[in-house]
């Protein structure tokens, strides 16, 4: 499980691969409610925990606003928000994310993806041999000048792209 978890963490680092900071005045925890999450995923949703993350070394910003909720016994929902990168920084961030997805696919993960005008939703499922590795479901988008990620990790259940998109839309609506 450690190599795949490292890849998942690499994806989270890739999200932070920009020269921009998260706004500190508004917590990502205010962007979804427990009821919003309960409507999308099975299992009891725990209290939100603000988990602002550091970004890549050398970036102008220091953190990305992030919030996590425990879901059920082993699941986790998170929302991350930071100012959207532009130009070369944006292209570099997208290229880094593509590298992470390609690395997972090279290890026989499968991707179910739906693109939309300002982002995409996907479900990355590990190979059957990695039964303890979580399925990674979620969406990434640019809206209102921000880069936004909604992610659900669970070892047994995926979050359907339509439900992930509904959560993303709620996040954007609360911004």
pLDDT digits (tens, 9 = 90+) for 119-158: 999 999 999 999 889 999 999 999 988 889 999 999 989 9
- Alpha-carbon gap, residue 149 to 81, rounded angstroms: 7
85-132 pLDDT, tens digit per residue, is 888 888 888 888 889 999 999 999 999 999 998 899 999 999 999 988
Secondary structure (3-state) at 42:
coil
Cα–Cα distance measured from residue 175 to residue 28, given in angstroms and rounded to the nearest whole number? 9
pLDDT in tens, 52-75: 666 554 444 445 688 999 999 899
Please check whether residue 67 is in contact with residue 51, taking contact to mean a CB–CB distance below 8 angstroms: yes
Q: Is the pLDDT of residue 22 over 90?
A: no
Give the per-residue pLDDT at 15: 41
| Partners of residue 119 on adjacent β-strands | 116, 141
């Amino acid at each position: 499980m450690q190599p795949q978890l490292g890849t998942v963490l690499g994806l989270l680092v890739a999200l932070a691969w920009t020269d921009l900071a998260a706004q500190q005045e508004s917590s990502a925890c205010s962007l979804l409610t427990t009821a919003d999450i309960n409507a999308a995923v099975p299992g009891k949703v725990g209290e939100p925990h603000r988990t602002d993350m550091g970004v890549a070394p050398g970036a102008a910003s220091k953190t990305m606003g992030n919030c996590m909720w425990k879901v059920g016994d082993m699941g986790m929902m998170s929302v991350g928000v930071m100012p959207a990168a532009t130009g070369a920084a944006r292209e570099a961030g997208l290229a880094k994310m593509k590298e992470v997805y390609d690395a997972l696919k090279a290890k026989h993960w499968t991707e179910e993806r739906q693109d939309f005008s300002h982002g995409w939703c996907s479900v990355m499922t590990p190979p059957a041999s990695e039964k303890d590795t979580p399925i990674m479901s979620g969406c990434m988008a640019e809206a209102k000048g921000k880069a936004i990620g909604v992610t659900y990790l669970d070892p047994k259940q995926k979050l359907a792209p339509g439900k992930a998109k509904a959560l993303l839309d709620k996040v954007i609506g609360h911004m």
